[in-house]
Structure 1
């Protein structure tokens, strides 16, 4: 929000010739004309100019330079309102010169603010910020809290326009502190709104939500319901972004109710679309479809067009195009590809009609994905190549990366592996470039900061040096001459000593380097030997103890079965068979882990990455563990959605989750549950957790879990046995797949084994689609 002069009502009165109205006291007349000029400013700028010029005439007669500058300031504001920018700028410059010469700081603040407004109207945002900063500096010198607040507000607003949210946060945070001191609730509410929006853009969703809720509470205290729908929508958006969908629905429904009471069709359509977005994310496609269609019905262009300006109409049509594309996405997920294509093509048609060609990327890729599902590969490629061209023309690397990956998918699915490989290489190269760009940006910012500080220090030192040179030139010259004589006389005597000392230092340094090198080699060899010895010990421990026990149990049970078969009753036979089965299952699992572990130790286990569906892997392992879970009446539950993809070795990932689920069941209490949870760690990694409600692990024992040199194993809640090898194998495999594993646990409360796993580009498709599900992107400004 840019602060401007507010309109002030004035009762009209008939004015006679102005010179006859001048009081004998010129001072009173001057004050009256300045007052009239200011009051007419927004009502009648032409009349304001007339009164301003009369005030200028009187100020000239009285040699009142401050009043003269004030009249120039008002006249300049009037010309600015009449869009006579050149005249306005000329008067502002004259006013600035007078205020500056007179040292009248309040006048300088107002003049700088008006310079900023002119530059803002000319879309010269950077220049406007410079003038507002000048106004802020003088306001601080005057300790004028209200003017400081105005300047902070104006600078923060323009930084938001420039998308410099980090800088804007600094100014708006200071604005909040001042407004809290001034205790103006309306201004405080506005500031909380700014902070909510800034934190939203910075991805600080908790802070954004906190500020939006504070704004809402203040609006309710002030009984300010004028834009309550927008406040509620902002809060709903935060809950939507952090996947708290029930809360998002609650606030979107409240916003919808208000918009329905107001009869605002555009905002009703927006609220309906927002509700559709939430149901889409919840994969309740039928409800999403219902709300999207209701939203579309509200966008009756014949009625809407009469209410909107050209720019608003453009924004409305852009939103409608997004809504049509969203409908296409829903129908795609429902398997109705014909309707999906129709809606996506309608979206493209609207965007082309309004000249919004730069935003065709997502509708084009949506159609391409539908055509790929229909196995119409040539047509799919045609749309994707057009999308890639748009991404390249806009120099948007994120979109280029996505386009290349989709083209790779089409070629790979259709069997054209050569072209698939080329586009996968392009995808990988752009992905690496994006990481490098992000890194380089941080480095450049740091270097620029360091260089600026260095230059400032150099300039300061240079100024000090120049001062000393001017004041002490003769003294320094004399000292230099004396010093040179002393140095020369001692130079010869010290030269030899320095040479000997230098040679000795070099010799010592060389010896130190050789010793350090030999020591590092010894340490490396010692580490290798230690790991090899630990591996050997682990191997023999398993063979000597863990393999012997199940084999011995099978042998004893089978001997007993052979010798006492006829003497046993059915219950005894059943128990004996169960013992043999349990021992054989334990032995099978042990041998499988032992075989894979040994292959990793001798280098025969190759890492073969591919795109892997985590949902499928978890549910395959659930099937394997079903019997073991049923024995303890344990419920297996996964929060991983279908088509959640990662990059990794399929067999290794199966082994990892098989061991983690087996351990979770083994150490879970009877009648409990085992949960597999997932969340986004960042843009490139998932955080997957295997959670049990079992006996837990002590902090001391957690440190032993993944160490080859420590033999650690415990008995399960139903006396199940283990080797300790499974978790070591999990650690080695997850690290081969570019991830990490660690544990959080409390005794008698259960354990959480946490994995970080690289994301595949499939998830980026879902993220892209989600980001498009809205009619407009409301920004509170």
Structure 2
């Protein structure tokens, strides 16, 4: 099942629905999706948004219990599972034996062995009646571990053996692997190393089946013990001969050690020299790249400014000519054109100034609590004329509850540049939306979405590269210096945030600004 699609469509439904029952289903489906993706905190947050009137609220309680169990919050998990245990089994759609097993597991982790034993025995009897082999193996393994940690080997070992024999009938490689591993541990404690080795090799076989290659130190250790035992007699015979050669061997060892130290010292200094040479070469290459970038920046900015001034000069000549002829329709077009050119040149110079301040570390920077919706409104006000000029429909759905911990000027520059790009790449009668995504515990998510020309994957990857090199110009009408995007990435990194892009050609683009949340608000 495509859980990401479930998350997207349920979020869209939540954004336009106020119906309690429908919202409960959306939060429930989102929680299940997060669970399948092993995102337990996100799943827990969604489950807590489901109202107590939800028809499947018993499932909500069960999932909250399982999340708490996964996160080792055993007391909390117990409260959830105990509340489910009190319900009649006909009122929910999962096996009661699973609830009993989870309660027993919680008590086992809390070292309340007597209560754990009561629930786990009740669970195993229920599984035996239901003839569910997989759950029965899990039940036997829990009982075996319960007795084993209390050093009740006589009670634990029969359950380990039952679990191992039943595991041969199930398809789960995890269960087979766990059962074999437990039997290996039992035989190792019994000092029956050959049999333990058999189980350990079986355990490693199941690990290979799961493509989970780990070191097989346990097998090597058992084989070593067997080899040592077989060779012990030979060692005893050779011991007498070795005493005669001890003095000679010690002299040889000392000489070897000294030679090794001298060789190691030489290798160390050679590696240090090689490392220093690599560092110097890398620094020189980086300096060359910085100089090339600087030259390229000056070249592109000079070209853009010259083009803007030249366009403004030609437009003004036409403006004077049409003013003499009183051609007011053409005058209106030329004035709007002049305004667009002037705004573009101003934004370029402003970005160049901020970029220079950032590179020279002279920019004022102070992180504080900022109300995100208010900042977006301020930036939006400055760009409304440009959007009206292209007949762009604009929507601002930024959550009033979002407070970020960031530098005010930085956030304004970032939003301004990205909104300016959205307008630039949007078509006539397009749409631009700015809205919040559900925040995490650490970050707020601000999305700037447009229905413009979009971009392919290679362009997205190029824009997100950690580099200061500028993009090549392809079309003077739509592609700028790339300085604005580089400035945005630098400022977002300085604010300890991230930038993400979701885009599709001829469909549109989503730019996601991820900024640290201000945690002490409210």
Q: What's the TM-score bracket when you normalise by the shorter of the two chains?
A: 0.5 to 0.7
Residue 369 of structure 2: SS of its match in structure 1?
Answer: strand
Residue 522 of structure 1 pairs with residue 508 of structure 2: no
Partner of 1:665: 423
Q: Matched residues in 1 for 2:225 and 2:122: separation?
A: 31
Q: Matched residues in 1 for 2:505 and 2:235: separation?
A: 76
Partner of 2:343: 585
Residue 129 of structure 1 pairs with residue 108 of structure 2: no
Could you list the per-position Cα deviations for residues 10-42 of structure 1 after superposition, in whole angstroms to 9, with x for gaps in the alignment? xxxxxxxxxxxxxxxxxxxxxxxxxxxxxxxxx
Residue 761 of structure 1 pairs with residue 510 of structure 2: no
Q: CA deviation at 1:461?
A: 6.0
Residue 640 of structure 1 pairs with residue 359 of structure 2: no
Using the size of structure 2 for normalisation, the TM-score is: 0.57
Using the size of structure 1 for normalisation, the TM-score is: 0.39
If you compute each CA radius of gyration, which structure gives the higher value, 1 or 2?
1
Count of aligned residue pairs for this structure pair:
350
Query: CA 1:714–1:734 in structure 2 vs 1: closer, same or farther (change >3 Å)?
Result: farther
Could you list the per-position Cα deviations for residues 431-466 of structure 1 after superposition, in whole angstroms to 9, with x for gaps in the alignment? xxxxxxxxxxxxxxxxxxxxxx99x969x769948x
Partner of 1:711: 471
Q: Is the 8 A contact 1:644 1:762 kept in 2?
A: no
Query: CA 1:486–1:565 in structure 2 vs 1: closer, same or farther (change >3 Å)?
Result: same
Could you list the per-position Cα deviations for residues 639-673 of structure 1 after superposition, in whole angstroms to 9, with x for gaps in the alignment? 32113100001111011011111111111122221
Query: CA 1:481–1:143 in structure 2 vs 1: closer, same or farther (change >3 Å)?
Result: farther
From 288, 301, 309, the equivalent of 1:542 is 301
Q: CA deviation at 1:601?
A: 1.7
Q: Matched residues in 2 for 1:126 and 1:463: separation?
A: 37
Q: CA deviation at 1:485?
A: 2.6
Residue 518 of structure 1: SS of its match in structure 2?
Answer: helix
Partner of 1:145: 131
Q: Matched residues in 2 for 1:696 and 1:619: separation?
A: 25
Query: CA 1:484–1:593 in structure 2 vs 1: closer, same or farther (change >3 Å)?
Result: same
Q: Is the 8 A contact 1:664 1:692 kept in 2?
A: yes
Could you list the per-position Cα deviations for residues 370-425 of structure 1 after superposition, in whole angstroms to 9, with x for gaps in the alignment? xxxxxxxxxxxxxxxxxxxxxxxxxxxxxxxxxxxxxxxxxxxxxxxxxxxxxxxx
Residue 738 of structure 1: SS of its match in structure 2?
Answer: coil
Q: Is the 8 A contact 2:452 2:507 kept in 1?
A: yes
Q: Matched residues in 2 for 1:483 and 1:636: separation?
A: 90
Q: Is the 8 A contact 1:136 1:152 kept in 2?
A: no
Residue 627 of structure 1 pairs with residue 385 of structure 2: yes
**Structure 2: 5+ residue stretches without partners:** 1-99, 146-165, 171-213
Partner of 1:686: 444
Partner of 1:96: none
Residue 591 of structure 1: SS of its match in structure 2?
Answer: helix
Q: Is the 8 A contact 2:500 2:513 kept in 1?
A: yes
Q: CA deviation at 1:527?
A: 1.4
**Structure 1: 5+ residue stretches without partners:** 1-112, 160-177, 183-452, 766-781
Q: Matched residues in 1 for 2:297 and 2:516: separation?
A: 30
Alignment of 1:261-272 (within 5 A): none
Q: Matched residues in 2 for 1:721 and 1:537: separation?
A: 15
Partner of 1:102: none
Name whichever structure is richer in helix by fraction. Answer: 1
Residue 682 of structure 1: SS of its match in structure 2?
Answer: coil
Partner of 2:268: 509
Residue 609 of structure 1 pairs with residue 367 of structure 2: yes
Query: CA 1:532–1:647 in structure 2 vs 1: closer, same or farther (change >3 Å)?
Result: farther
Query: CA 1:483–1:721 in structure 2 vs 1: closer, same or farther (change >3 Å)?
Result: closer
Q: CA deviation at 1:629?
A: 1.1
Q: CA deviation at 1:632?
A: 1.8
